[in-house]
């Protein structure tokens, strides 16, 4: 197994792009019961800070809650105030990483090259979002992981689903960000829960 040690593994992160506050608690419950390890609300969703607040109040004690598509330090502060534990970005911005660490949260900056990965590590990040993972592929993840410190994990995001999740985990991914393969706007909590259980079973059964 390459990459991060078991102690730093993030596991499955649900990306609920487009979710609304009115459905967030029911969908969040389905994900937690379905075995997901964290839930992310991208900031380009409707009223995202309210959704983060509701998730944190309902599930924060058992499931880390994240803000996604975070691009500026002031967004980090708002997400923290709403109850977020993790900050996820599509790029590597050292100011966002610094703001996240200063508030005691985990930073998940997006990286696509070794240069970006080491820039994020030097800024203090240890959980790196490999994005877009469908372009880099498993061989790309292995190549980047091989040169990173052992306590740094790579988390593929973009195109991860039931057909390839086991391959990513077997190759050493510390977790995976799952978007439309678990939730699409308008999906019922029942459907989300069923997908979550299938994905969690794949993750748990892959060495």
Two structure tokens written together for 13: 């992160």
Q: Is 26 a catalytic residue?
A: no
State the catalytic residue, choosing from 53, 75, 129, 153.
129
Q: How far is Cα 15 from Cα 155, in angstroms, rounded to an integer?
A: 13
State the catalytic residue, choosing from 23, 40, 53, 153.
40
Two structure tokens written together for 193: 């829960």
Task: Tell me the residue ranges of DSSP E strands in the chain.
Answer: 11-15, 38-42, 65-68, 86-88, 106-108, 110-111, 127-130, 153-156, 175-178
Asked if residue 60 lies in contact with residue 52, where contact means CB atoms within 8 angstroms, the answer is no
- Nearest CA to 2 out of 170, 157, 133 is that of 170
Q: Is 95 a catalytic residue?
A: no
Active site residues: 40, 129
């Amino acid at each position: 197994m390459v990459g991060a040690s078991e102690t730093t593994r993030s596991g499955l992160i649900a990306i609920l792009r487009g979710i609304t506050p009115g459905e967030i608690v029911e969908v969040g419950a389905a994900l937690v019961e379905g075995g997901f390890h964290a839930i992310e609300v991208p900031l380009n969703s409707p009223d995202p800070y309210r959704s983060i607040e509701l998730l944190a109040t309902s599930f924060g004690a058992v499931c880390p809650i994240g803000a996604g598509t975070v691009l500026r330090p002031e967004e980090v502060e708002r997400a923290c105030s709403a109850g977020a534990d993790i900050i996820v970005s599509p790029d590597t911005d050292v100011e966002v990483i610094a703001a996240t660490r200063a508030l005691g949260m985990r930073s998940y900056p997006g990286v696509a090259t070794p240069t970006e990965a080491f820039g994020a590590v030097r800024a203090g990040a240890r959980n790196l979002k490999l994005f877009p993972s469908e372009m880099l592929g498993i061989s790309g993840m292995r190549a980047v992981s091989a040169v990173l410190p052992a306590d740094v994990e790579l988390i593929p995001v973009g195109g991860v689903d039931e057909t390839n999740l086991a391959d990513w985990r077997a190759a050493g991914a510390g977790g995976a960000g799952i978007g439309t393969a678990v939730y699409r706007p308008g999906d019922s909590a029942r459907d989300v829960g069923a997908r979550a259980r299938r994905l969690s079973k794949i993750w748990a059964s892959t060495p």
